[in-house]
Amino acid sequence: MLMIASPGFAQAARDYINIVGSSTVYPFATVVAETFGKTTGFKTPKIESTGTGGGFKLFCGGVGVAHPDITNASRAIKKSEIDLCGANGIIEVIEVKIGYDGIAIANSKKTTALQFSRKDLFLALAKNVPDPRGGEKLVPNPYKTWKQVNSKLPDVAIEVLGPPPTSGTRDAFVELAMEGGCKNFDWIAAIEKKDEKQYKAICQTIREDGAYVDAGENDNLILQKLQTNPKSLGIFGFNFLDQNIDKVQGSIIDDAAPTFDTIADHSYPISRPLFFYVKKAHVGMIPGIKEYLNEFTSEKAWGDEGYLSDRGLVPLPAAERAEVAQTVKQLKANIICN
């Protein structure tokens, strides 16, 4: 029987863990949840794939059984989300970094693999780009084909299927890939020191004329469309690429292919850490949270030879894993929302 310790838990007690958030972290969390459900006396956690942004919105909605206990994230929590948590009475949050993932720019294996620079990706997908005729001015993106962007690329229409604005994968893509390419233009890079907001608007705003197609949070839908149209490209996490390597292939970005090793050593330029966040007020109130955290951060799960690496998660270095595991063991709130 769950003890009632605060007004937030005065409703009918919930006897299972409720998890929301990132579609990229979802498959890892699901495997851990299933293992946890089979090997302990606790119920298997309920997990929803809402996207990173959507997950934080739900997670930061309040304390109590009506609100999620954990949210998965393919980027770090933003200050605005910390403020939202604080405004809704969530004071202590435990951030758990679980490993690394790369963002793949993939196409169907029915066609040849492609090689891009981050500059190519910026010019192909940004809403406004430097005027091709020269000068330090921006124009609405005029590029219709990849060949127009770079003469070494194929003469096919630019069509990229990717995640929506609520996705942490999209956040990471615009920051790591597009902004990484945008910095190649010195005059744009100089804007960052004068007006960071304007700089980010230039570098991180995706075009809206149909070249980029918002495919929602469903990576399987992107996979189906790549099979139907081999000339199109899709954006998703390395773990999804790894699980579907018989159907799709990752493009080489700045001379590095998306592989387990290149993501681990950070030579693949579009890689990012993955996280989940725990509401400390729910630990001890919702049964099994501490034990779920221990399962996730066990060597048999997230270690170099753990079952999550078989699913495509690139483990943290051993020393960092030990440090994060210690934070989890101590239930140390490393984010204070007030």
Q: Which residues contact 17 (CB under 8 A, 6 or more apart)?
A: 33, 42, 43, 45, 46, 69, 70, 286, 288, 289, 292
Phi and psi at residue 215, to the nearest 5°: -100, 15
Instruction: Give the pLDDT of residue 12.
Output: 53
Burial of 195 (0-12, 13-18, 19+ CB in 10 A): exposed
Rounded to whole angstroms, the maximal C-alpha distance in the chain is 72
Q: Which DSSP string do the residues of 102-123 spell out, in sequence order?
A: EEEEEEETTS---EE-HHHHHH
pLDDT in tens, 94-150: 999 999 999 999 999 999 999 999 999 999 999 999 999 999 999 999 999 999 999
Same fold across 18-100+273-336 and 102-271: yes
pLDDT in tens, 283-333: 999 999 999 999 999 999 999 999 999 888 999 999 999 999 999 999 999
For residues 105 and 46, give the distance between their C-alpha atoms in angstroms, rounded to a whole number: 30
**In the CATH scheme, what is the homologous superfamily, with its name and number, of domain 18-100+273-336?**
Periplasmic binding protein-like II (3.40.190.10)
pLDDT in tens, 247-264: 999 999 999 999 999 999
pLDDT in tens, 179-192: 999 999 999 999 99
Q: pLDDT band for 3, please (50, 70, 90 cuts).
A: very low
Domain 102-271 annotated CATH 3.40.190.10:
yes
Residue with tokens 């001015």: 137
pLDDT surpassing 90 at residue 2: no
For residues 198 and 195, give the distance between their C-alpha atoms in angstroms, rounded to a whole number: 5
Phi and psi at residue 45, to the nearest 5°: -60, 150
Where do the structural domains in the chain lie, given as residue ranges?
18-100+273-336, 102-271
Instruction: Give the pLDDT of residue 312.
Output: 87
Instruction: Give the pLDDT of residue 183.
Output: 94
For the chain, counts of helices (H) and of strands (E): 16, 14
DSSP code of 133?
Answer: T
CA angle 226, 178, 252 (to 5 degrees): 55
Instruction: Give the pLDDT of residue 181.
Output: 97
Q: pLDDT band for 6, please (50, 70, 90 cuts).
A: low
3-state secondary structure of 129: strand
